Structure formats: structure tokens, C-alpha cells
Amino acid sequence: MQRTAIQGSPDLLTAVTGVWHAGAAAAADGPHPFRKSLATLRIGDQVRSSARRVTLDDIETFATFTGDTFYAHMDEEAAAANPFFPGRVAHGYLLVSWAAGLFVDPAPGPVLANYGLENLRFLTPVSPGDSIRVALTAKQITPRETDDYGEVRWDARITNQRDELVASYDVLTLVAKE
């Protein structure tokens, strides 16, 4: 094959590759994308969640429930001494779990399963009092030739109340063709 460097707007790169690029046009005004089968789902289809406020109580509940009582979540003084945290912060996995709760459309439908998550990065710490929201955008659609479903890769971006990127990752799902 031949390797080519391409440069352009996110819209152009999306058009050339068939893979949605961050910054390209997205459609957030239609029905929730989890209600769409591969017959109607298009890359760029998006759901933007409402905001959820983070409390200290939530962090402690998650810590106790999971057993992850790492000091950055539980000890204000020790957390503040850490070079990366302003003080106690929310667990990254709590944010990812919340994000799923924020973007999900729970009723049975064409989305069959969540089979993985890739390229997860936690970029900005989240403190009690912050609020987060998530944007989930259909990034790549891979229908299977020999099955009645396909793979959909979703771009997930969690941001805070200052629109700073808190976390980014790809959510991998299996979605029915019809």
C-alpha cells in the first residue's frame, strides 16, 4: 500500500478517511444515537449529556464501595502534597462510570454490547464542586460481512465546567445492522 500524509480541517480528514475526527461536524439534534441501527447511524452522530456535579460524598462512597482508597481520593493533605493534584480528587474510574450513566440510553435497542474501551487518558483532575459532562460521537462504523451486527467505535470526551478536557477515550460497542 502507499502511505500518504494528509493535512486539512477535521471535516476534510473525516471525509477522506471515513473516520470521524474531533472538531468535525457532529449531529447532536437527532434521536439518541443508541436508538439507531447501522442502517441509520452515521459517523458524527452525537449525544451531549447534561452536567453532573461532583461531591466529596460521591468520592468517598466510590472509594468505600470499590476499595480504592488511594490517598489522592481520601487524604486532603497528602493529596495536596502530590505534584499533580490540588487536593482530593475524583477517581478516574468514577468519572468514566458516570460518563456511561450520562450518555447511555437504557432501553433495549440496536446497541447490543459494550465490548471494550481504548486509548483512555485522564487529562485534568476533577475536584469536589466541579461538574462534568460527556460528549459521545460515532467515530467509526465497521459492519461485519458475515454477521447481522457490526462494531461502532465512539469518541468519548469528558469535560469540566471550564470546558477543559478531563478524559478522552474510545468506547467500543456492537450494534445491530437493522
Please say which residue, 91 or 157, places its beta carbon nearer to another protein: 157
Rounded CA-CA distance 141/111 in Å is 13
21-29, 63-71, 76-84, 110-118 -> range binding another protein (CB under 8 A): 21-29
Size of residue set near another protein by CB under 8 A:
25
Which DSSP symbol is given to 34?
Answer: G
Rounded CA-CA distance 75/25 in Å is 43
Q: Would you say 160 and 124 are in contact if contact means Cβ atoms under 8 Å apart?
A: yes
Our finding on whether 50 is near another protein (CB under 8 A) is no
- Which residue carries 468519548 as its cell? 156
Our finding on whether 9 is near another protein (CB under 8 A) is yes
Residue in 42, 53, 121, 144 binding another protein, rule: CB under 8 A: 144
Give the cell for residue 33. Answer: 444515537
- What are the residues binding another protein (CB under 8 A)? 1-10, 13, 16-19, 21-23, 140, 142-146, 150
